[in-house]
Amino acid sequence: METWERRIKSNPTELDGMLNDLITKNASLEEQIASLQTPAQQSEQHHQEQIAAMTQQLNEQRDEMTKRSTAEQELRDDRDRLSQELQALSQAYTSLEEEYRRTSSTSLATTATPTTPQQQGPVSSEVSTLRAENARLRHDAKAADDWMAMAVQRMNEMGSANGQLQQEVTVLKE
């Protein structure tokens, strides 16, 4: 209001001075606005850069988490598969052991029966057949024992590999 009263009461020369004052004030205010905009723009740019960096870091961490989850699932699958193989090997070993005991008891029972001299002719061939079968069964039992020893060794190796993989999963989770 004061400015309007001054304008109305002033002469043209004074109006020029007032106009110059207003132009100077406007220029000064524009400079202040420009000087305030530069830090605001820099601050905004800095915030945008920080957001981009954090977004990139978050994406990298998500990718790493996905990789670790996949590795963990693979290790669990391996563990389950190894457990199933161990169970199958145990069942196979039990079956072989039962068959061996059954054949051993059968061969002991046949060799324990006494023979009379009259029975030795036809029985002699039967005894030799049983002895041959007994030898074959012993050979098969030895092969089964060798196979089982190999299976146990392999299971031990798989167990230690599984333990190492579990340790790696633990380390990766940390």
The pair of three-digit structure tokens given for residue 6, joined into one six-digit string: 């001054």
**What is the value of pTM for the model shown?**
0.39
The number of folded domains in the chain is 1
Mean pLDDT of the chain: 81
CA distance 86 to 98: 18
Q: Which long-range contacts (CB under 8 A, 24 or more apart) does 161-169 make?
A: 162/78, 162/79, 162/82, 165/75, 165/78, 165/79, 166/75, 166/79, 168/75, 169/71, 169/72, 169/75
Q: What is the CA radius of gyration of the chain?
A: 48
The pair of three-digit structure tokens given for residue 63, joined into one six-digit string: 């990718």
* pLDDT per position as a tens digit, 89-128: 888 888 888 877 787 777 666 655 555 444 455 567 888 8
Query: What is the extent of the structural domain holding 27?
Result: 2-173
